[in-house]
Amino acid sequence: MNKALVRTDYHFPGQKSVYHGKVRDVYNINDEQLVMVATDRISAFDVILPEGIPYKGQVLNQIAAKFLDATTDICPNWKLATPDPMVTAGVLCEGFPVEMIVRGYLCGSAWRAYKSGVREICGVKLPDGMRENEKFPEPIITPTTKAEIGEHDADISKEEILAKGLATPEEYAVLEKYTLALFKRGTEIAAKRGLILVDTKYEFGKHNGTIYLMDEIHTPDSSRYFYSEGYEEKFKAGEPQRQLSKEFVREWLMDNGFQGKAGQQVPEMTPEIVENISNRYIELYEHITGERFEKETVGDVAERIGENVTNYLQK
């Protein structure tokens, strides 16, 4: 298995700065382009886990690139090129400091809150009597603030976003429209592959006054998928759904006493655990794209990326 790429430190032509996020390393090129490297780091509960996951960055980058290309008729997006299987280069945008989370089903953190008695999330009122993994009558938008590294994303309502001036009413209307349209498209594509797009998140920014879709889209890091087959039977029986998402990583951590809280230790990530997570990411790629995943194994990963990106920038 390939060695995981967990850190990058490039000096590309025209590079002005670099930002190391939880998973992506983002290089600013001449204040005009961003070169975004999808590393093999993995985070859960807003904590970067100690082991990287081989091929995870390639999976995320290639899924995102396919979905960015498949949604250009809905809204403009930041992607210009994919100079390497783990890299997207695109337009530099000024990001909105919120993530637009859209949910089609009650599960994950929303279900955990609901189970504890919460009936309103991000200003959206939820009816009594719902069950885990139940479909909402219509998808709901539950935004969060963009957290700094080490901090947790926080729920925020549309009203709070407008009151804090994080977006104007006109901008928010566009964000809402794009979010629902993108989720609808993602749902349709997933259905053709025997999957249900359960929930996901989108990030947007502005470039020359125009709102662009940024970052990744419909990847297992930003989205949750159920298998369509067996969904109804499992739901009626109150059984867990078969799913393709990062939730299995969170569940493994919770089963081993870790939820990102102070004083908790990340359980040991054995080679078997790492390989299992890697295989699950590849499984999602093949399901959601309908294509076989080709492992990019050419030489040293970091060196390959450096050469490919430099060649792209010098064209």
55-70 pLDDT, tens per residue? 999 999 999 999 999 9
* Rounded (10°) angle between helices 271-289 and 56-69: 20
Average pLDDT over residues 220-228: 90
The CATH architecture that domain 97-245 belongs to is 2-Layer Sandwich (3.30)
Whether the predicted pLDDT of 1 surpasses 70:
no
Distance between CA 133 and CA 141 in Å, rounded?
Answer: 16
Q: In 3D, which of 146, 176, 147, 135 has the Cα closest to residue 159?
A: 176
**Nearest 5 degrees, angle CA 303-CA 77-CA 29?**
40
Average pLDDT over residues 25-34: 97
**Nearest 5 degrees, angle CA 21-CA 25-CA 26?**
100
Token look-up 């010098």 returns 314
Average pLDDT over residues 1-23: 92
Contact 226, 198 (CB under 8 A): yes
* Superfamily grouping for domain 15-94+272-314: Phosphorylase Kinase; domain 1 (3.30.200.20)
Percent of the chain past pLDDT 70, that is, above it, reads 97
CATH 3.30.200.20, the chain: domain bounds: 15-94+272-314
Contact 133, 241 (CB under 8 A): yes
pLDDT of residue 297: 77
CB environment 200-234: b (16+ within 10 A), e (fewer): bbbbbbeeeeebbbbbbbbbbbbbbbbbeeebeeb
Contact 142, 126 (CB under 8 A): no
91-150 pLDDT, tens per residue? 999 999 999 999 999 998 899 999 999 999 999 999 999 999 999 999 999 999 986 544
Res. 72 pLDDT band, cuts 50 70 90: very high
CATH 3.30.470.20, the chain: domain bounds: 97-245
pLDDT of residue 18: 97
